[in-house]
């Protein structure tokens, strides 16, 4: 994995239960941008806070991400880029990967380290990737926020213009993080979801839904719900009437 070179310039051209209800409602209203670099599949940036407070749940997230790929089988190729920050200004990204075992290996090799959040770097990297390779969505998983909310919100708004929704998954009860993540999600056209690390099934279900959305768009998500049933089927049946 190589350090991301943070570019501040905005790309010149734009790329074409209740919490689950709200989450998928946002997804239904979010069109998937046109992918660059040929047909087939979608690109999803998966970014995580790897500071010390996340250590208890890191292994859980590393395991769950594999289910994202399983959910997209038969839909199309899903390429995922892993990004994380930790320590004193350390921010790293992987290449684009489509093998869940390889991503799990990379995540398993990362250990959490004390440091401040660097969500602004994550959003800027997503903005630059939207111009260079094209991405359909950004998933961010974290539990705290220690940055200038206005500056971060500005970049989130740029992502909204570029058609890259941020799906912010909030672990824990930090009210400042909750407000910041909600702003990021709203400004980018994405969604905010709070989850409990003690209930991994909810996170697994939501991440799988985002992966299906990234790989095949809203139509693929509807088909996925028909197969999976349960909460996703109930939610999607409600969404079909929204137009």
The C-alpha atoms of residue 167 and residue 158 are separated, in whole angstroms, by 15
pLDDT for res 197: 67
> What is the torsional sign of CA 237, 207, 64, 106?
positive
Which range of 52-56, 59-63, 93-97 scores highest in mean pLDDT? It is: 93-97
CATH of span 12-238: 3.40.50.410
Residue 136 has pLDDT above 80, yes or no: yes
Give, in degrees to the nearest 5, the angle at Cα 211 between 65 and 30: 140
Assign 182 a pLDDT band (cuts: 50, 70, 90): very high
Q: What is the pTM of this model?
A: 0.75
Please check the confidence at residue 16 and state whether its pLDDT lies above 60: no
8: pLDDT strictly greater than 60:
no
Average model confidence (pLDDT) across the chain:
74
Name the phi and psi angles at 28, rounded to 5.
Answer: -65, -35
Residue ranges of E strands in the chain: 2-3, 42-49, 78-86, 90-93, 137-142, 166-171, 191-195
């Amino acid at each position: 994995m190589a350090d991301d070179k943070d570019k501040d310039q905005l790309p010149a051209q734009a790329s074409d239960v209740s919490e689950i209800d709200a989450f998928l409602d946002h997804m239904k209203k979010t069109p998937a941008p046109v992918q660059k670099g040929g047909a087939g599949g979608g690109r999803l940036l998966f970014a995580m806070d790897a500071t010390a407070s996340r250590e208890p749940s890191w292994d859980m997230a590393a395991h769950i991400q594999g289910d994202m790929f399983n959910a997209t089988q038969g839909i199309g190729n899903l390429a995922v880029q892993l990004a994380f920050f930790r320590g004193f200004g350390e921010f790293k990204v992987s290449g684009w990967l489509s093998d869940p075992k390889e991503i799990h290996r990379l995540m398993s090799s990362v250990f959490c380290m004390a440091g401040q959040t660097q969500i602004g770097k994550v959003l800027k990297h997503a903005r630059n990737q939207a111009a260079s390779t094209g991405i359909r969505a950004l998933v961010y998983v974290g539990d705290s926020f220690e940055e200038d909310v206005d500056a971060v919100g500005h970049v989130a708004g740029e992502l909204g213009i570029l058609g890259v929704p941020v799906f912010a998954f909030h672990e824990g009860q930090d009210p400042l993080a909750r407000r910041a993540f909600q702003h990021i999600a709203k400004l980018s056209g994405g969604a905010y979801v709070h989850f409990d690390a003690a209930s991994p099934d909810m996170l697994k279900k939501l991440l799988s839904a985002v992966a299906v959305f990234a790989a095949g768009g809203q139509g693929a998500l509807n088909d996925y719900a028909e197969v999976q049933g349960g909460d996703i089927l109930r939610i999607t049946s409600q969404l079909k009437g929204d137009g």
